[in-house]
Amino acid sequence: VPAVTRPLRADARRNRDRIVAVAQEVFAEQGAGASLDEVARRAGVGAGTLYRHFPNRAALQEAVYRGAVEELAGLGRTLLDTRGAAPAVEGWMRLLVAHMVARRGLAEALVDALGKTSGVFADTHRVLHETGGAIVERARAAGAVRDDLDQRDLLWMAHGVSLAAESDGGEARVERMLTVLIAGLAG
């Protein structure tokens, strides 16, 4: 088996997971260009261990981004399992917007490094479409979302709202825009 596809031993896996979790925090605090030595230090591993798992910055950024989307999708599945149709779609819109606001810099860094057509975007879009699609379909069936809306529409709406985070008083504006959108979803 070539080294790159060999499954990680349990301790190597734990190191990798810890590095990704710490990088998510450090990127959130300092941006996607934060010091990787700082990430290694906080994760309690040597720089060599970090570079063995992630040979370049983009590889670590990609792992953080995939992890964030998986986490988001997991929260979406929980909404689907535990909430009614209307609160689930409202919660999903809020999660999407918060994700886009928090990960804009990371997503832009990945586009710069890997290009828009990178597999990371195809994979993460598929994850969001699956989870979001199930939430929106149920909400449509329950009359909580207009018949003519689909999951892509909601992603574009969340994208539009998330951009306002960059304006003066952006946090409160995002909240007002979300309120308008959610009030209008049922048409």
Element (H, E) at 85: helix 85-114
- Does position 102 interact with a copy of itself (CB under 8 A)? The reply is no
Minimal distance, residue 53 CB to a copy of itself, in Å: 36
Minimal distance, residue 137 CB to a copy of itself, in Å: 16
- Does position 122 interact with a copy of itself (CB under 8 A)? The reply is no
- Does position 13 interact with a copy of itself (CB under 8 A)? The reply is no
Q: What share of the chain is helix, strand, coil (3-state, %, to 5)?
A: 80, 0, 20
- Does position 153 interact with a copy of itself (CB under 8 A)? The reply is yes
Q: How many other C-beta atoms lie within 10 A of the C-beta of residue 150?
A: 15
Tell me the residue length of the chain.
187
- Sign of CA pseudo-dihedral 124, 47, 6, 10: negative
List of residues 6+ apart from 8 with CB closer than 8 A: 16
Residue type, 160: G
- Does position 181 interact with a copy of itself (CB under 8 A)? The reply is yes
- Does position 142 interact with a copy of itself (CB under 8 A)? The reply is no
- Does position 180 interact with a copy of itself (CB under 8 A)? The reply is yes
Stretch that binds a copy of itself, among 5-13, 52-60, 125-133, 160-168 (CB under 8 A): 160-168
**Joined tokens for residue 42:** 């906080």
Q: Which is nearer to a copy of itself, 53 or 140 (CB)?
A: 140
The residue ranges that bind a copy of itself (CB under 8 A) are 146, 148-149, 152-153, 156-157, 159-161, 163-164, 167, 173, 176-177, 179-187
